[in-house]
Amino acid sequence: MENSLLKAVTVRFFNISIGEDDYFVKLRNIFETLLENGSNPESFESGGFKYLWKLESKAELSNTPCYLFSLIKEIKGWPLIFTDTEAIEISPPKGVLGNITFGLVCPAYKFLLCFSEAGGAASFKRFLSEFSLSGLVRLDPLLDSEAEERVYAWDIYKRFSLKMDIPSVEDVAAFEAGKFGGRVNLLGYLEGSKLDLSVDAGSGKQRLSNITVQESLPLLSADDSCKSLTLRGFDFEGGESETIDLKNPQLKYKDKVEIRGNYTAASDALQILKKAAAERSNELFKDK
């Protein structure tokens, strides 16, 4: 019997935009042709790495055709086996060693769902650009409208991080005259304009002050100089730790996928992506 294990995965959500009027019609036609004739792996390069891609299957979501594809990112260099006395290089197999990931694209509603691994958003953008004349595909992350509400509902805060980029000396003085800036009081003292601050509660049962964290959030959220406001915490009911940047609360879906043998099967990846789409169907399938 084949060995299997569960692996945690995160699904990310993106809107696809491009200046070519016929791009999405052309994309659907290409995918339909590939499915009809049989899709063979093809390749492209991105960030100095080679990627193989293959159209795996078609799925209907909300009565709309969506297309599952796989990406394999090559691994640079060959692995070694270490013994007590030496390191032995593994003979490279035919082909290329790589890490596999999956995406689900919906041309009709112009969105992409993908696993956050093996090259990240840049590799998926590069893949979609393969079908564009201009190569100027843009991926805009969908934002989580419920993120702020969840953060305020947490019972435990474990980490508080922010990044400030204040444009002038006068603005630094104004920031440090405020309630939060007066507590930090480092920028004026050191004559700087950028602040990268992280406070961690450490391990165990230690926690940050709920009152102080929640008092600080509206002050910083409303400040345009605050570029990132990231918190990690959880509520007693959910129990699982979550990290959210309130300045850029990207929509994510977390689950576990079965690893059969050495990699995730396309059919298992599709089920995870379909569950993610079903959970956020109101955002994904609204009229454009």
Write the DSSP symbol of residue 72: E
Check whether residue 268 and residue 155 sit in a common domain.
no
Which residue ranges of the chain lie beneath pLDDT 70?
A: 1-4, 76-79, 90-98, 118-119, 181-183, 189, 238, 261, 288
Give pLDDT, residue 84. Answer: 75
Check whether residue 32 and residue 126 sit in a common domain.
yes
Check whether residue 211 and residue 86 sit in a common domain.
no
Check whether residue 18 and residue 37 sit in a common domain.
yes
Check whether residue 136 and residue 265 sit in a common domain.
yes
Per-residue H/E/C for the chain: CCCEEEEEEEEEEEEEECCCCCHHHHHHHHHHHHHHHCCCCEEEEECCEEEEEEEEEEEEECCEEEEEEEEEEECCCCCEEECCCCEEECCCCCCCCEEEEEEEEECCCCEEEEECCCCHHHHHHHHHHCCCCCCCCEEEECECCCHHHHHHHCCEEEEEEEEEECCCHHHHHHHHHCHHHHHHCCHHHHCCCEEEEEEECCCCCCCCCHHHHHHHHHHHHCCCCEEEEEEEEECCCCCCCEEEECCCCECEEEEEEEEECCEECHHHHHHHHHHHHHHCHHHHCCCC
Give pLDDT, residue 260. Answer: 72
Give pLDDT, residue 21. Answer: 85
Structure tokens at 39: 């899709």
pLDDT per residue as tens digits for the range 12-40: 999 999 988 899 999 999 999 999 988 77
Check whether residue 170 and residue 41 sit in a common domain.
no
Structure tokens at 172: 């630094």
Check whether residue 69 and residue 109 sit in a common domain.
yes
Give pLDDT, residue 1. Answer: 43
**Diameter over CA atoms, the chain:** 69
Give pLDDT, residue 238. Answer: 66
Check whether residue 11 and residue 96 sit in a common domain.
yes
Check whether residue 89 and residue 157 sit in a common domain.
no
H and E: helices and strands count for the chain: 9, 15
Number of domains within the chain: 2
Check whether residue 12 and residue 115 sit in a common domain.
yes
Check whether residue 135 and residue 153 sit in a common domain.
no
Domain assignment of residue 193, given as a range? 147-245
Report the predicted TM-score, pTM, of the whole model to 2 decimal places. Answer: 0.80
Q: Are 217 and 229 in contact (CB under 8 A)?
A: yes
d(CA 158, CA 241): 9
Check whether residue 179 and residue 138 sit in a common domain.
no
Q: Are 227 and 245 in contact (CB under 8 A)?
A: no
